[in-house]
């Protein structure tokens, strides 16, 4: 990401990021539950790969909030 | 067969478990697409674009896995007559659309037509643009 492109995050963007983290969280739990329930090693392996990818997605989303944290105004703006 | 129909202790069948993941991946892709279009900050848009693509890839991978395991039945094949009709309808629609565009842009003058690189590029690259 190029820092010169960085703008303060909007309320809508923040809501999308937070909702996305919830989506990724639910998917990880579904994959973990499936990996635990199945006896098929192919499915287990696939679920474990998905969990790694989904966990990386959460990292990206949290990093995005952190990167925009210093730009956020401390009081409501017009 | 991986299914043990006599095993009633399993929480849910593999097929049902994978289907719920597939359905949620599809929903997440849609939400990432919406988030991308609604983004104002370029870096946020770039991130949502990347997440859209990666989630789409995962959904495709899971679909292929379920297909390999005979867990997903695609809809029946479209009939040739329906395919033919769709092509004909699309061409008729496109023809009318071009007439509409022609009517609307003909009054714009030679300058507008001459400076329309899109039209020129399409006509040279796509045999359908004649």
Under a CB-based contact definition with an 8 Å cutoff, are residues A11 and B38 in contact? no
pLDDT at B11: 76
> How far apart are the C-alpha atoms of B97 and A62, rounded to whole Å?
46
The string over B84-104, giving b where at least 16 C-beta atoms fall within 10 Å of a residue's C-beta and e elsewhere, is eeeeeeeeeeeeeeeeeeeee
State the pLDDT at residue B74: 83
Question: pLDDT digit string (tens) for A28-67?
Answer: 999 999 999 999 999 999 999 999 999 999 999 999 999 9
Q: List the domain boundaries for chain B.
A: 12-75
Contacts of A34 in chain B (CB under 8 A): 14, 17-18, 21
Torsion of CA A48, B63, B65, B5, to 10 degrees: 90
Residue B8 has a pLDDT of 56
Grouping H, G, I as helix, E, B as strand and the rest as coil, residue B4 is coil
Output helix, strand, coil percentages for chain B, rounded to the nearest 5.
Answer: 75, 0, 25
Q: How far is A13 from chain B (nearest CA, A)?
A: 6
Residues in chain A closer than 8 A to B6 (CB atoms): none
B contacts of A39 (beta carbons < 8 Å):
2, 4
Residue pair B36/B52 in contact (Cβ under 8 Å)? The answer is: yes
Residue with tokens 């989303």: A61
| Nearest CB partner across the interface for A26, out of B24, B55, B62 | B24
From A5-14, A21-30, B6-15, the region with the lowest mean pLDDT: B6-15
In tens digits, what is the pLDDT along chain B, a chain of 130 residues? 444 444 556 778 999 999 999 999 999 999 999 999 999 999 999 999 999 999 999 999 999 999 999 998 888 999 999 999 999 999 999 999 999 999 999 988 766 555 555 555 554 444 444 3
CB contacts < 8 A, A to B, total 105
Task: For residue A2, name the pLDDT band (cuts at 50, 70, 90).
Answer: very low
Which among A44, A19, A20 is positioned nearest to A32, based on CA atoms?
A44
Chain A contact for B51, CB < 8 A? Answer: yes
Q: Does A30 lie at the interface with B, CB-CB under 8 angstroms?
A: yes
What is the pTM for the complete model shown?
Answer: 0.80
Interface confidence, given as ipTM, is 0.91
**Residue position matching structure tokens 């300058």:** B111
Q: What pLDDT score does B107 carry?
A: 81
> Is residue A11 over pLDDT 50?
yes
Identify whether the C-beta of residue A67 lies closer than 8 Å to the C-beta of residue A2: no
**Which is nearest to A32 in space by CA: A13, A51, A11?**
A51
Burial of A26 (0-12, 13-18, 19+ CB in 10 A): middle
Give the C-alpha separation, B1 to A14, whole Å.
46
The pLDDT assigned to B10 comes to: 74
Report the gap between the CA of A61 and the closest CA in chain B (Å): 8
């Amino acid at each position: 990401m190029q820092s010169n492109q960085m703008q303060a995050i909007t309320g809508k963007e923040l809501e999308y990021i937070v909702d996305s983290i919830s989506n990724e969280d639910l998917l990880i739990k579904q994959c973990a539950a499936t990996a635990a329930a199945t006896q098929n090693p192919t499915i287990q392996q696939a679920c474990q790969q998905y969990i790694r990818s989904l966990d990386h997605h959460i990292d990206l989303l949290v990093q995005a909030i952190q990167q925009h944290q210093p730009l956020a105004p401390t009081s409501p703006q017009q | 067969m991986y299914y043990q129909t006599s095993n009633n202790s399993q929480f849910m069948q593999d097929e049902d478990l994978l289907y719920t993941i597939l359905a949620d991946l599809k929903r997440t892709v849609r939400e990432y697409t919406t988030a991308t279009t609604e983004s104002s900050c370029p870096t946020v848009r770039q991130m949502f674009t990347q997440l859209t693509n990666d989630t789409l890839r995962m959904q495709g991978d899971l679909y292929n896995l379920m297909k390999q395991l005979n867990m997903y039945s695609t809809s029946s094949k479209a009939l040739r007559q329906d395919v033919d009709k769709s092509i004909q309808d699309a061409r008729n629609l496109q023809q009318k659309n071009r007439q509409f565009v022609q009517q609307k842009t003909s009054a714009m003058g030679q300058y507008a037509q001459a400076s329309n690189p899109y039209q020129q590029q399409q006509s040279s690259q796509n045999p359908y643009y004649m």
